[in-house]
Amino acid sequence: MDAVPALDEPLKKVLGPATAKVMAEHLGLHTVGDLLHHYPRRYEERGQLTHLADLPMDEHVTVVAQVADARLHTFASSRAPRGKGQRLEVTITDGSGRLQLVFFGAGVHKPHKELLPGTRAMFAGKVSVFNRRLQLAHPAYELLRADSEEAVESWAGALIPLYPATAKLESWKIGKAIQTVLPSAQEAADPLPETLREGRGLVPLPEALLKIHRPHTKADIDRARARLKWDEAFVLQVALARRRHADAQLPAVPRRPKPDGILAAFDDRLPFTLTEGQRKVSKEIFADLATDHPMHRLLQGEVGSGKTLVALRAMLAVVDAGGQAAMLAPTEVLAQQHHRSVTEMMGELAEGGMLGGAENATKVVLLTGSMGAAARRQALLGLATGEAGIVIGTHALIEDKVQFHDLGLVVVDEQHRFGVEQRDALRGKGKQPPHLLVMTATPIPRTVAMTVFGDLETSVLDQLPAGRSPIASHVVPAADKPHFLARAWERVREEVGKGHQAYVVCPRIGDEEDGAKAKKKSPEDEAEKRPPLAVLDIAEQLARGPLAGLRVEVLHGRMQPDDKDAVMRRFAAGEADVLVATTVIEVGVNVPNATVMVIMDADRFGVSQLHQLRGRVGRGKAPGLCLLVTEMPEASAARQRLNAVASTLDGFELSRIDLEQRREGDVLGQAQSGTRSSLRMLAVIDDEEVIAEAREEATRTVAADPDLERLPALRTALDALLDEEREQYLEKG
């Protein structure tokens, strides 16, 4: 079935090139269909006014209010020296607060005539402060006249939709554009199968689009939202269900460990017993590896829950079965760290072909971009001949020169740092599709996992191994209570005095050309106006000041790989007391003797990132301490976020908080935030039930009709959702 032409009509034909250009550039809207799916953010009720008392600073707002008074002032200025300058000050009110509007120069004439006391209008502009009062300078406005024909038509119904807008295009202009294209909604093809729609009492799509843009009652809005949420959840889940269905048809080589092979020998060597969780998850993985279609499994685990050990046992099972396993790590520091810990855990079992190696040993090789030519050649040879059963590396593993003898398993660490293309290139190196295990230490709430990784089976490790210590976390308000920061450095000295070590983490390196270029995140406070604290500056201040006499080293991403590795080795060996670093230490760095971490400008990190960083301490027998230093005022959202991190060690709980604060970003694109989300109506955390039910319906639908031949409108919706790039994203998963 062809796509519906009315909805594919380019906006420039319908609205004219100028408006269409702004919509394309600022809102990502290109066709009539895109515009119809640009839903109102909220609705104003006539007579119910926006709270002027709660206006956010520096944000573009739309308010509905009444003019209380308007005064025209004349003044002298460099441009109008004879007192001919004009300034119009208009005060508007909504019962909750007052707001000043100002217009200057030639811009005063029209508002002076139109904004008379008692007039109601919609105003849009950026909130600023002048003389300690909130104001909008030169706001755009639209009068709400109940008497003129056009206004009655335009604001028919008691609810005025307010759209996500930009400074270049106010909400009511978007509203008018939508009124122009709204008749096309009648031609929208309904993607939901009729039985599903009727069984769940959902309104047809054309009706939902009309009701969302021109509701007469709140019930209209609720019915439209319920329907549009189902569209998003169902179409997305069908895409994922089709992908699972297609994967289940692919062939793979079953890999079963030998009863007396390298895995059994490794388990015998372990100085501790596996946790209940590690045993359960390993069992799920081994069952997948034994089947003849590729495993696709997501292994989520709390920081320090022993994911690497579970992944290593899976790799050894594949080596037992005559295959090879590759582990892909996001950074060289992490690849080297994994290589070191794997070879230490395996001991003589990692010395295949060497003197002293155990009889069923294999070779474990490292492959990174900065290796010397000879070492690299040796590693490549081991992979091509099959002598090396396990390879650990960075994206250097993906290069064309890398050939495997028989790649059976790909383990991807910290999935969110890899482009799909990179994972896919590595999976393409197997003679048949290899099994895939994706590990993430950022716990993901169940519904997010179902939405983002809906094509992967999920295993969760939520127990910490015996011997791991709890971590105490505290917020250090450096601006309100400077003596708390002084105490933080004393605590570091005390820990070092007991023979332990410390991390100090900063958001920036400090050798950038212009610190001022560091991006501001939010104008919450003066603290945001200075550049983020930098590793090189802080290291110097600490070594000269509060930590004088201690051995302070620095680590950051722009150092040479060999230098980075040397610093990490010295720190791991206890030859440095304090490591001042950027987030390069965020994942996988394992120094059991490090007990305290001070995170400077902690408000500049995301919730999940703080949780990751905190997981670097308390990895040994001594308890861990994490101090979150911030200059943000107590009432700010940033402080609330830090309090949340300090109050719980439950990564799943924190990831929910993180998600609620950031919104989901685009769950189908690689970007985690900032892009226009393909979810316009669905909130992954709030709509858990809809997502779970849509997944069940989608699985049933795809099982009955994998190519959707009987559901052409659903196919069309799928094509619209999965433009080529996203289709590949899911394809490659």
Q: Which residues pair with 459 in a beta bridge?
A: 299
**Which residues have C-beta within 8 Å of that of residue 600, sequence separation ≥ 6?**
504, 505, 506, 507, 533, 538, 629
pTM for the model stands at 0.66
User: Averaged over 607-636, what is the pLDDT?
Assistant: 86
For the stretch 685-709, pLDDT in tens is 677 788 889 988 999 999 999 998 9
Rounded alpha-carbon distances, angstroms, from residue 495 to 198, 258, 383, 476, 614: 65, 47, 45, 18, 16
How would DSSP label each residue in 656-690? HHHHHHH----SSSS-SSSSPPS-SS--TTTTHHH
For the stretch 488-497, pLDDT in tens is 999 999 999 9
CB neighbour class for 538 (10 Å; exposed up to 12, middle 13-18, buried from 19): buried
Count CB-CB contacts under 10 A for residue 516.
10
In this prediction, residue 668 carries a pLDDT of 43
For the stretch 291-341, pLDDT in tens is 998 898 888 877 667 888 999 999 999 999 999 999 988 888 788 888 988
**Which residues have C-beta within 8 Å of that of residue 396, sequence separation ≥ 6?**
367, 368, 369, 371, 402
Q: How far is CA 405 from the centre of its chain?
A: 36
How large a percentage of the chain has pLDDT more than 90? 29
User: Averaged over 533-538, what is the pLDDT?
Assistant: 86
Question: Is pLDDT of 654 > 60?
Answer: yes
Helix/strand/coil for 136: strand
For the stretch 262-302, pLDDT in tens is 999 999 988 888 888 899 999 999 999 999 988 988 888 77
Supply the angle between the helices 637-647 and 651-662 in degrees, to the nearest 10: 170
For the stretch 704-713, pLDDT in tens is 999 989 998 8
Q: Which of 306 and 381 is assigned the larger pLDDT?
A: 381
C-beta of residue 478 within 8 angstroms of C-beta of residue 470: no
For the stretch 145-197, pLDDT in tens is 765 445 544 443 457 788 877 777 878 788 889 989 999 889 888 899 999 99
In this prediction, residue 678 carries a pLDDT of 57
Q: Is the dihedral of CA 257, 258, 262, 267 positive or negative?
A: positive
In this prediction, residue 521 carries a pLDDT of 43
The C-alpha atoms of residue 395 and residue 387 are separated, in whole angstroms, by 21
Structure tokens at 6: 């009315």
Structure tokens at 624: 């861990």
Q: How far is CA 513 from the centre of its chain?
A: 28
User: Averaged over 76-96, what is the pLDDT?
Assistant: 76
How would DSSP label each residue in 435-480? EEEEEESS---HHHHHHHSTTSEEEEE-PPPTTPPPEEEEEEETTT
C-beta of residue 294 within 8 angstroms of C-beta of residue 252: yes
422 pLDDT band, cuts 50/70/90, is low
Average pLDDT of the chain to the nearest whole number: 81
H or E segment and range at residue 502: strand 501-505
In this prediction, residue 528 carries a pLDDT of 45
Q: Which residues pair with 296 in a beta bridge?
A: 436
For the stretch 424-452, pLDDT in tens is 677 778 788 889 898 876 666 666 666 66
The single residue listed with the structure tokens 């208009």 is 90
C-beta of residue 501 within 8 angstroms of C-beta of residue 605: no
φ, ψ for residue 84, nearest 5 deg? -95, 0
